[in-house]
Structure 1
Amino acid sequence: MTVPFYLKDGVPGLSLTKPPLNDSFGSVRVGQNPNTAPTFYETNRRTGYALQSNFGIQRQLPANIMVEVSYVGNLSRKLASSNLGMNQVRPELLTPASTQRDRPFPQFTNVTIVLPSLGVSSYHAMLLRAEKRFESGWNFLGTYTWSKFQNNTNEGGSVLGAEGSVYSNYYNRRADWGPSENDIRHRLTWSGVYELPFGKGKKYLADSPMRHIIGGWGVGGILTLQSGAPFTVTTQVNSVYSAAGALRADVSRNPNLPNNQRTLARWFDTGAFSQPPAATFGNQGVNILRADGVINLNASVQRNFGLWSEQSKLQFRAEFFNFANHPNFGVPGRVLNGPGFGIVGSAGPARSIQLGLRLAF
């Protein structure tokens, strides 16, 4: 076997040439109209984490009632956010005359980070709970939550009042820190079941013929009371020029109206908002307004009819959703000077009734 060459003599016939390169792998020269928008993942992408804490005290009361008071906390860091454009003109260079040349990467239309780990959230809550397990024909469960939920990235959508983009200013993400679109400060729920004490096996009218009429009935209900979801007023026109998406409006005074002045046609002080000057971000904070809360009662009535055996029965059930037919209004128009600005134009479902029969054997 003949050795073709020895390394000590070098590689024969090898010549290295510099490969031809274009301007920037698909981008155009600075000053020309760009047509490329690279998208990339962070090479040092971090894993999100949460620090959770809780503390509670329980107490057993007479009548088999248990009460509990507790604190719940959650601090989340390095959460994945929506895609973030980082080709914004720096604020100190931003003017109405800014052009593509002023961007950090003028050869590209945009430069986007996919799901950057920049999200931060904070949740603190006090919970009250009272419960009576089923005994003597009745039970109940009541809870109350007083909480505060803040973050710097809203993902709830327009139904909850979230903004249309993640960060309005790439260079000042702190400006997007505020109440989350899921920040429901107060929420109370109460549910229970009560069997009427009449009829066979009950305290009253166990042997009376009336047991066939008023015996076997039971009632139940779920009551929900909660404060409104927060939302932000945005502009129709983004006059910053350096960022895409929604732009928060300027605000000159407290836009929240007293309850005795708030109407469906004017939910908040619309005159407090204005279009920010060109090339200027709005001074409004995140989610400084609140929509209508929720008052809802769902109720049910049922009766069991005995049939040919102990195991067989026919159950009649009537369910009433939004029993009081209370209107729960949606988020008012929040686009500055847009159609319906400041006007509540939607509401939750009206009362509905559902009847049913169930045969068990």
Structure 2
Amino acid sequence: MTPGLDNAGRPYFARFNRTATSNGWRKTDTRYDSIQVKLDRRFANGLLWTNSYTLSRAKDYTNDNGDIGTPADVQRSYGLSDFDRTHSFVSSFVYELPWLKDAKGAAGAILGGWQVAGIFIAQSGTPVDIRSGGATLRAPGNQQRPNLNGGQRVIGDIGPGQQYFDISVYSAAPANTFGNMTRNAGPRGPGYVNLDASVVKRIKANDRYVLELRVDAFNVTNTPHFANPGRDFGTATFGQVTNTLGPGDGATGPRLVRFGARFTF
């Protein structure tokens, strides 16, 4: 495949005057490097606490076994993985409140048997794969990207009409040539912060009959989880964050509170 020749640059078109579907395989590789730190408190005095931090970098040619975006120059597709997050911190705990947990009678039934739990996640953002239209590249089947002129800068503004990153440092590539940007070489999108928590009350009639009442709250702080900014160079929403993530994206949506009960006998 040769940029600038349109279909004439396709080997089957040049030979047979037609396009054809073909499958090809190229030896590629993925790489993951990380430093992981974990600090745990074993369950004691009613408290269990776990903490983990990961500093990592993941690189590959494509996401989820998809097609390589630049078959004319495969190395341009090698870059940070779509899911790459440099920093990831997770902390979780379970705590059985100590007061009156063994008390009998009304005081024990009301004030004892409480448990709280939670999980906190804080992660840096994923890379933005900045792209542009491929009409001037004239290489069907290849993804075009713009030129980067200088350093990239995150502004951090959120919402339609607001720039999350500075778009003035990008320009269209000359006709018939690839831009100098490679896959996932843009700035990183918004980070992800979330807190889930639960409160459980156990009421024991005796050792056999136990009623458990619970409240589970997802995204306790109702923090919006923003999607990456628009990645298409030259469009009206380029560099703007206009969407949020939800359960379909593997993220927690707006605050959700769930009530439950269980009777054990």
Pair in the same fold by TM > 0.5: yes
Aligned to 1:185, which of 54, 75, 86?
86
1:241 lines up with 2:241 in the alignment: no
- Partner of 2:82: helix, strand, or coil? coil
1:294 lines up with 2:203 in the alignment: no
CA distance in structure 2 between the aligned counterparts of 1:209 and 1:240, rounded to whole angstroms:
78
Offset of residue 246 of structure 1? 2.9
CA distance in structure 2 between the aligned counterparts of 1:117 and 1:193, rounded to whole angstroms:
49
Give the 5 Å matches for 1:154-303: 154-155=63-64, 166-170=68-72, 172-201=73-102, 206=103, 209-257=106-154, 261-264=155-158, 265-288=162-185, 289-303=187-201
Offset of residue 209 of structure 1? 5.0
Deviations 1:115-138 (A, max 9, x none): x24321111111111122222211
If asked which structure has higher relative contact order (CA below 8 Å, sep 6+), I would say 2
Q: Which moved more, 1:229-238 or 1:314-323?
A: 229-238
Offset of residue 243 of structure 1? 3.0
The amino acid of 1:285's aligned partner reads T
CA distance in structure 1 between the aligned counterparts of 2:63 and 2:28, rounded to whole angstroms:
9
Q: Which residue of 2 aligns with 1:121?
A: 30
Q: Which residue of 2 aligns with 1:104?
A: 11
Change (3 A) 1:101 1:187: closer
CA distance in structure 2 between the aligned counterparts of 1:126 and 1:99, rounded to whole angstroms:
46
Contact 2:7-2:140 within 8 A present in 1 as well: no
CA distance in structure 1 between the aligned counterparts of 2:52 and 2:262, rounded to whole angstroms:
31
Contact 1:151-1:177 within 8 A present in 2 as well: yes
CA distance in structure 1 between the aligned counterparts of 2:6 and 2:114, rounded to whole angstroms:
75
Offset of residue 207 of structure 1? 5.6
Aligned to 1:145, which of 35, 42, 54?
54
Give the 5 Å matches for 1:304-315: 304-307=202-205, 309-315=206-212
For structure 1, list consecutive stretches of 5 or more residues without a partner in the other structure. 1-87, 158-164
The amino acid of 1:276's aligned partner reads A
Change (3 A) 1:296 1:357: same
- Partner of 2:168: helix, strand, or coil? helix
CA distance in structure 2 between the aligned counterparts of 1:109 and 1:268, rounded to whole angstroms:
40
Structure 1 length as normaliser, TM-score? 0.65
The amino acid of 1:154's aligned partner reads N
CA distance in structure 2 between the aligned counterparts of 1:302 and 1:358, rounded to whole angstroms:
11
Change (3 A) 1:322 1:99: closer
Q: How many residues align?
A: 251
Change (3 A) 1:313 1:169: same
Change (3 A) 1:343 1:187: same
For structure 2, list consecutive stretches of 5 or more residues without a partner in the other structure. 246-252
Q: Which residue of 1 aligns with 2:249?
A: none
CA distance in structure 1 between the aligned counterparts of 2:8 and 2:68, rounded to whole angstroms:
25
CA distance in structure 1 between the aligned counterparts of 2:8 and 2:47, rounded to whole angstroms:
73
Change (3 A) 1:292 1:271: same
Deviations 1:140-195 (A, max 9, x none): 111111111111223388xxxxxxx513142x322222111121111000011001
Q: Which residue of 2 aligns with 1:136?
A: 45
- Partner of 1:231: helix, strand, or coil? coil
